[in-house]
Amino acid sequence: MLLENITMLEFERGLKETLTVAIPFGSIEEHGPHLPLGTDTIHAYELLKYTSSQKPFFVAPPVWYGLCRSTKEHPGTVGIDSNTLKHLTKAICKALYEKGLRNFLLLSGHAGGTHMASILDAADELLEELKESKFAVLSIIDLVKMLPGGIVETEGDSHAGEVETSLMMYLRPEFVKGSANREFPNFPKFIIARNKKKFWPGGVWGDPTLSSREKGKSILLEEAKILIKLIEKLEEFEE
């Protein structure tokens, strides 16, 4: 059930079927020379939309902006800071809780470490503030790591590579502008670089040349299976 598409009466009826809501998080961030800036958000949102067609739960509109530390110098990246993301996450969840929802799945298509830490901090604080709430927090990278062997060929594929290019070829083929070369960032170990683009010029983390539409469909369907199991576990979880 997509919140933006249902009426208030449909929302009331939906609460009798499920108290679970999923919130897709993403970013407006470079994804190499071939993928759109909204790739992360599109992936998370479309995955949740499909998953909700297989198992009933509410899907909130996506949060399009995220904390983008490593790509902030690249053209097109528009990020927000940690406090903004954390406060926005808490505000949305509190509003949904007030409307009767209790189980929260926070799924991020953007998997940056500081970005995910902000969402995790928000969820941890909300657990204390909203006494009947339950939370699950994960990124698309977490899902990819749980995919059956043999689907993803590139070891360490992470950003605008084999996985995301395949998914966009399946979900939004009209937005894919060719391909890109295999690339991995070369950030200095332990040293925080001021000019991050110098160590990651192409903005690709993986191998887009191994992508295909068929692979994108397989990835999405397998991710949905994993999410259904996680949602069932969340709904049954007791401490």
* Strand runs labelled E in the chain: 20-25, 58-59, 103-108, 134-139
Give CA separation, 110 vs 47, 97, 103, 136, 205, in Å.
13, 24, 21, 16, 13
pLDDT of res. 168:
98
The answer to whether the beta carbons of residues 107 and 24 sit under 8 Å apart is yes
Q: Is residue 170 part of a domain?
A: yes
Cross-strand pairs, 159: 205
pLDDT of res. 122:
98
pLDDT of res. 55:
97
Q: Is residue 2 part of a domain?
A: no
Query: What's the pLDDT tens digit per position in 105-122?
Result: 999 999 999 999 999 999
Q: Is residue 174 part of a domain?
A: yes
Q: Is residue 81 part of a domain?
A: yes
- Segments in the chain below pLDDT 50: none
The answer to whether the beta carbons of residues 71 and 196 sit under 8 Å apart is yes
pLDDT of res. 239:
84
Among the listed residues 111, 191, 135, the one whose alpha carbon sits nearest the alpha carbon of residue 19: 135
pLDDT of res. 114:
97
Using alpha carbons only, what angle is made at residue 147 by residues 208 and 154, rounded to the nearest 5 degrees? 30
Rounded distance, CA 2 to CA 203, Å? 32
Among the listed residues 59, 73, 70, the one whose alpha carbon sits nearest the alpha carbon of residue 22: 59
**H/E run at residue 162:** helix 162-171
Q: Is residue 196 part of a domain?
A: yes
pLDDT of res. 175:
98
The 3-state DSSP composition of the chain as helix, strand, coil percent (nearest 5) reads: 45, 15, 40
pLDDT of res. 60:
98
From the centroid of its chain, how far is CA 165? 15
DSSP-based three-state secondary structure for 179: coil
Query: What's the pLDDT tens digit per position in 114-148?
Result: 999 999 999 999 999 999 999 999 999 999 999 99
Q: Is residue 1 part of a domain?
A: no
DSSP-based three-state secondary structure for 198: helix
Rounded distance, CA 146 to CA 104, Å? 21
How many residues does the structure list for the chain?
A: 239
* Domain membership of residue 38 as a residue range: 7-236
Helix segments in 26-135, DSSP class H:
39-54, 82-98, 113-129
- What is the count of structural domains for the chain? 1
Q: Is residue 193 part of a domain?
A: yes
CATH number assigned to the domain comprising residue 157:
3.40.50.10310
